Copies of this chain bind each other. A is one copy, B any other.
């Protein structure tokens, strides 16, 4: 829905607190499928994963480590995405095991011992019954039992996993063992499966040195997110455990690339919350306000709709709009500035990713409009390629190719490049990728070839940093280029525009799931005017 439509229903009566609807469209409640289809979704994913790894394999996933804020304070806990993708559990200190070749227990999850007398300090810890209900996994064991299982499977690993400590209040919130499998509680579990019969086949493969152990072990260096896994895999290899340790990253990339109907609806909800926030932010983006006021308006909306940001808010006014990852948000907005807002909600760990660029004054200048229209047209050209059989980049019929062609023609007409065929010149002003998948990661696994069920961004942008010409490579060609365009550049410098939408690939035309947030120049200006008129008489709720 567009601002223009929203505002038809505007009532100028004084609104009572929380009666947001009079001024703008509030996000609807979460989709029914969110909880209704949760277990079906999770079970299907686990089945698909087990089909891929086969009977000789075991997959082990750890819940995320807490992230330290400072001293004894942590950032709010956020679950590791692949663990969440297969379990739906948000409990720290848990471990998932999938063993498709096992006789009895093919899926099991280990959770920290839930102790009511600790919960005064730790907050509620999930019970086995709750873990079963959320995940659909029937075998829920205690974290302290992981060692028994794992050493039954791989006897040489015994020395690598500390025995469960004697009971006592855990030092950190959530009671997360710092070493995987190192339980914090010695309370005897109600029952321990007989590992040697329940897992005879995987144990036999292990004895023959034919077991494949999958963990998340991304190849990229400095993957601090998976430090524990890397360390554990390294130690396991070093004790000669005779097991093939494999990285599961690609398996998850392949699974997560195409979204289920439920995932699409959750992403739509994250977008709906984002759309509500853009209205609030646009109303508040008045000359003189600090950029962090806009950040506050976004985060406020995300939180009160039970969401969060999916990535730190980017709110860049004036020259700051030309910095792609500007996050300091400390400057004040001036009437002549453009304001670039790359801000989106995450709901249930699924993140939208949306950018709009608006004039703080409410009206684009001629030069701002030149660039804005060009970016908008490039995006439209990109949308036309967002179909199965096309790719995000790599050829004239890709999203990047089609948008790039619009950019080259347009920039040449404006005099901002000297060669309408030069990708290299165009790339000076559009220096980032045009598309990526969204999902549990804001940069979710994507694929070269677009398929129905993928949800991707289309996000062209043009950025004229005031120091851009000084920072070009010092080659004769580039100096010649700089000289040729300098007079035109002077008119456009300081302008940064990005328009980013979230797009569902279907069998036919793409569905722009963030289309409710206006992006056409005339609709942006009309939306600002009506919204700001409305808040003069009806304060923002």
Give the interface of A toward B (CB within 8 A): 14-18, 65, 67-76, 78, 80-81, 116-117, 119-124, 171-173, 178, 220-222, 224-225, 283-284, 286, 289-290, 292-293, 295-297, 299-301, 303-304, 306, 310-312, 322-328, 330, 431, 440-443, 463, 465, 467, 470-471, 535-541
Contacts and interface: CB of A to CB of B under 8 A. Distances in A.
A121 B324 contact: yes
Given A16-B539, A70-B81, A292-B304, 9 more contacts: A17-B539, A70-B78, A70-B440, A73-B312, A75-B312, A123-B325, A296-B303, A297-B304, A539-B541
Nearest to A541: B539
Task: Indicate the member of A14, A69, A81, A122 with the most B CB atoms within 10 Å.
Answer: A69
14 contacts: A17-B283, A17-B535, A17-B539, A70-B225, A70-B440, A73-B311, A73-B441, A121-B325, A171-B221, A172-B222, A173-B325, A173-B327, A178-B221, A540-B541
* Oligomeric state, in copies: 2
User: Interface majority SS on A: helix, strand, loop or mixed?
Assistant: loop
Nearest to A173: B325
Contacts of A541: 539-540
A69 B537 CA distance: 40
A75 B73 contact: no
A471 B295 contact: no
Contacts of A292: 303-304, 306
A229 to B, nearest CB: 13
10 closest A-B pairs (Cβ-Cβ)?
A: A296-B303, A300-B300, A296-B304, A71-B441, A117-B471, A67-B67, A539-B539, A178-B222, A73-B311, A17-B535
A327 B17 contact: no
Nearest to A442: B73
A537 B67 contact: no
Contacts of A116: 467, 470-471
A17 B330 contact: no
Contact of A323 (B18, B65, B123, B311): B123
A322 B121 CA distance: 10
B322 A120 contact: yes
A303 B312 contact: no
B295 A303 contact: yes
A153 to B, nearest CB: 27
Contacts of A16: 535-536, 539
Nearest to A177: B222
Contact of A540 (B17, B117, B304, B537): B17
Nearest to A307: B292
A401 to B, nearest CB: 23
A75 B75 contact: yes
Nearest to A431: B120
Contact of A75 (B14, B67, B471, B539): B67
A330 B306 contact: yes
A71 B290 contact: no
Contact of A539 (B14, B224, B306): B14
A345 B326 CA distance: 23
A422 to B, nearest CB: 19
A448 B470 CA distance: 59
A221 B72 CA distance: 12
A330 B16 CA distance: 24
Nearest to A289: B18
Contacts of A467: 116
Nearest to A288: B18
Nearest to A77: B327
Task: Indicate the member of A73, A116, A465 with the most B CB atoms within 10 Å.
Answer: A73
Contacts of A124: 323, 328
A148 B229 CA distance: 34
B290 A442 contact: no
A226 B466 CA distance: 39
Contacts of A441: 70-73
A463 B121 CA distance: 12
B73 A69 contact: no
A405 B123 CA distance: 28
A503 to B, nearest CB: 20
